[in-house]
Structure 1
């Protein structure tokens, strides 16, 4: 027994600071620098841009506070997979784990790594200008995709060398991007040449959209159309696809609960501190956008890169582009590392339950699940080559919120069904906090189902494909037992 305790304590190499850095580093990728353009095109007013980010912030922090109760009850590696399995049974846990491997975790790794490649191309234009390595019809493989794959495989390799290396990398890169974001916020108010705040807020609570496209799907700057009633709600839901996706992955810290010191307390602290800090930073960055650019400047920033245009306003076109490219490269590199580090622990936990490849089960000599890391990395690399990661992520935002809702509902469900379970931490303002998340999440999902079905059914179908796979695995296990 004593040896077991020593082994567990030796595994726990991540403290509260490391956990908070993992939360913040996994959340802050490229989204905050880009998605405000789409939000502005959907709603057309400074007030509504802020409202979307405030709603997203309330959702995110409410979910993190609610997850805290589950993390204290089940302080094991696997996090959300474990919570769903323990609360609703193995099939629900498997469907989440399947979705995580198929697209949620790996698709995020691919998309953020490609964002790293695209911003690297600002500094090395030859990456943009080079002919595709392979092209057949609309499908092509570019050097940017190859760079993304190199980054994924490099970070996977570093994380197979032990938690210490991944932790150090995470802390350095997350610390760097937090400092850089704070710098951007301060300079965005001090050094911009023109102030558009009053103009952007002059539209009040009027909502407008500007989403017309030509036959090729390119946006047309054709003038703003006033929208009202249910159209505003549809616009909010569509706008929130980007803000929600920019604010996920905080739950990654729950995946590594087995390696966190005093997980019953430090996991929830990491989530609440990390999500609150990031959502405040996001809101302040959007204040900078509204201060530095008019609504056309935000809505139609080239390639949606609002932050690049703002940086050019602050530092001038040449230096501003370089400054922002470096910031996004730091941000995306650290984000990929955090997601790579955490995700493999879920697949290892699934393997222990007989729900994933047996090879993912064992740790290497450095005490980390190397084969699980490589499986995750290789599939993410395949998604990079597919060129479909962006579409996959649009589709999966709905499913991510759906799983968040099921998990948050699990807090209420367990309070009713298993009130006797030990709860070292209890959800703050229960049941108000989980109910707030469930109401906002339900409204988001229902509005997407009504107005933006392209964001809903494909992701749902990907996850539901896990049902026959689960039944097949169970049948094989039963046959083996007989």
Structure 2
């Protein structure tokens, strides 16, 4: 058992960001996260995180706000195109600033610690746990659906199963990174298969002569800017996760090569698969059937697959299981990096000395997610999450442009055309501004929560002369957790 002292082992360590993790000398003696992610793992993380609950929940919401199937399909394709542009911008950011933490690291480099802390603040309590809660609830609803074929599963049972799967995947993430990547690779393949089955089943339906649902696809299209903005929110929610590989840059082998390659492979794949899946839904289901459905994929399977319709809830469960696994893995590194930089309690930056995983960060995120599982208004959560996320992604891309001007000396292995970040900034600004007209409550709550983070930053981060009892309590808590979980700060020597 490692011997830990409060004065030596629990002090924040300086991190050499330029270290590629391949230094043989002393590497076996120091506690640090290992570079274990290959290009295939990177693609699996992006595709696996993106293809989750959204494609099975969002189509009805996108159609509701777009007004017509044609406009909804346009929204889905343009959402993929916009996500691809954002991902390319993040490829430049990720290779220019090769730190884990994604937006937190980029915003901090461009605009300083306060905006970076505010991103961490909302990610900790809104973005990550809410997204994980939606995914876990979708998994639970679909895994239980065959047991209640004529009605919705009991709410308590759904919440219980969602909590169990969240804890189970957190345990896997705590135990071994290789297990995480194996689960991710396997379930990513399964979810692509599920969506392809959906598409080919719809082709069979069309070739049987049922083309009526694809006639007059633009009828009822809504053109109000607020409606279009909310339609894009529901589409973009289904693409959320394209920046998650940037959270784990320090664990990616050859990040300068594999980060942009993973993005350029995964994003077109996801966009094509999503477009084909929506065409399948629209070909088989009427507008009324889609509007009335809480899980479009299940309604689709009941209409077209007959006695084997049970297979679709199973496929959806597989998709959401893999998505939740990837989200837990990647987002835990965000909080790990934030704590390592002093913006969260030090205990969250500790690493298990035997398994080399950020166990306290994973456990803390699991607890916050379990609390949010009690809230089940998916549409409001989507708007709430996407509005807040759009604000900070906008800040990250603005930071790319700002650093082109203020820090031209930085090495940029990838340099995207200025047209891409400009398009992204204009579209994101449009979405945030016009969504305020249709859903002022959700957007207002998100902005208010961001503002609440400002006093927390000055009290807990900037104020150095804290009360003695407060400092002593924090140190005791950190030391207790270190002993309880056998964890040390990164780059500590095992004693």
Answer yes or no: is 1:99 the counterpart of 2:122.
Answer: yes
Structure 1 residue 274 displacement after superposition: 1.6
Deviation of the 1:89 alpha carbon: 0.7
**Distance of aligned partners of 1:358 and 1:283 in 2 relative to their CA distance in 1, 3 Å threshold:** same
Gap change, CA 1:341 and 1:349, over 3 Å in 2: same
| Shift, 1:131, TM fit | 6.6
Name the CA distance, whole Å, in 2 between partners of 1:203 and 1:166: 42
299, 306, 313: which is aligned to 1:309? Answer: 299
Q: Distance in 2 between matches of 1:176 and 1:412?
A: 39
* Aligned-residue offset at 1:327: 0.8
Take 1:328 and 1:257, find their aligned partners in 2: how far apart are those partners?
A: 29
Whether the aligned pair in 1 keeps the contact of 2:384 and 2:446 (CA below 8 Å) is yes
Which of 277, 285, 295 matches 2:277?
285
Cα separation, 1, equivalents of 2:114 and 2:96: 20
Aligned to 2:244: 252
Selected match of 1:207 from 220, 237, 241: 220
CA RMSD of aligned residues (A): 2.5
Trace 1:328-347 onto structure 2 (pairs within 5 A): 328-347=316-335
Aligned residue in 2 for 1:212: none
Q: Distance in 2 between matches of 1:261 and 1:195?
A: 50
1:351 aligns with 2:334: no
| Residue matched to 2:182 | 168
Distance across 2 between alignment mates of 1:410 and 1:10: 27
- Give SS of 2:351's match: coil
Shift of 1:4: 5.7
Shift of 1:260: 0.6
Please report the TM-score for the alignment, with normalisation by the length of structure 2: 0.84
Q: Which residue does the alignment assign to 2:424?
A: 437
Give, in whole Å, the separation in 2 of the partners of 1:8 and 1:76: 17
Q: Does 1:463 pair with 2:455?
A: no
Alignment CA distance shift 1:172-1:311 (3 Å): same
Contact 2:130 2:385 in 1 (8 A): no
Query: Which residue does the alignment assign to 1:371?
Result: 360
Match of residue 12 from structure 2: none
Which residue, 359, 374, 379 being the options, matches 1:385? 374
Which of 233, 240, 263 aligns to 1:241? It is 233
Match of 1:472 among 432, 449, 459: 459
Alignment size in residue pairs: 445
Give me the TM-score of the superposition, normalised by structure 1: 0.86
The alpha carbon displacement at 1:146 in A equals: 1.0
* Cα deviation code 1:317-342 (max 9, x no counterpart): x422x111001100111111001011
State the match for 2:384 in structure 1. Answer: 395
Is the contact between residue 59 and residue 441 of structure 1 (CA under 8 Å) also seen in structure 2? no
Gaps of 5+ in 2: 1-22, 472-495
Q: Distance in 2 between matches of 1:145 and 1:18?
A: 30
In the TM superposition, 1:2-401 aligns within 5 A as 2-3=24-25, 11-125=34-148, 142-191=156-205, 197=211, 199-204=213-218, 206-208=219-221, 228=223, 231=224, 233-300=225-292, 302-303=293-294, 305-316=295-306, 318-320=307-309, 322-364=310-352, 365-387=354-376, 391-401=380-390
Compute the displacement of 1:36 (Å): 1.5
Instruction: Give distance in 1, aligned partners of 2:104 and 2:38.
Output: 22
Alpha-carbon deviation of 1:308? 1.8
Whether contact under 8 Å (1:39, 1:49) holds in the other structure is: yes
By how many angstroms is 1:452 displaced?
A: 2.3
**1:354 counterpart SS class:** coil
* Structure 1 unpaired stretches of 5+: 133-141, 209-226
Match of 1:426 in 2: 415
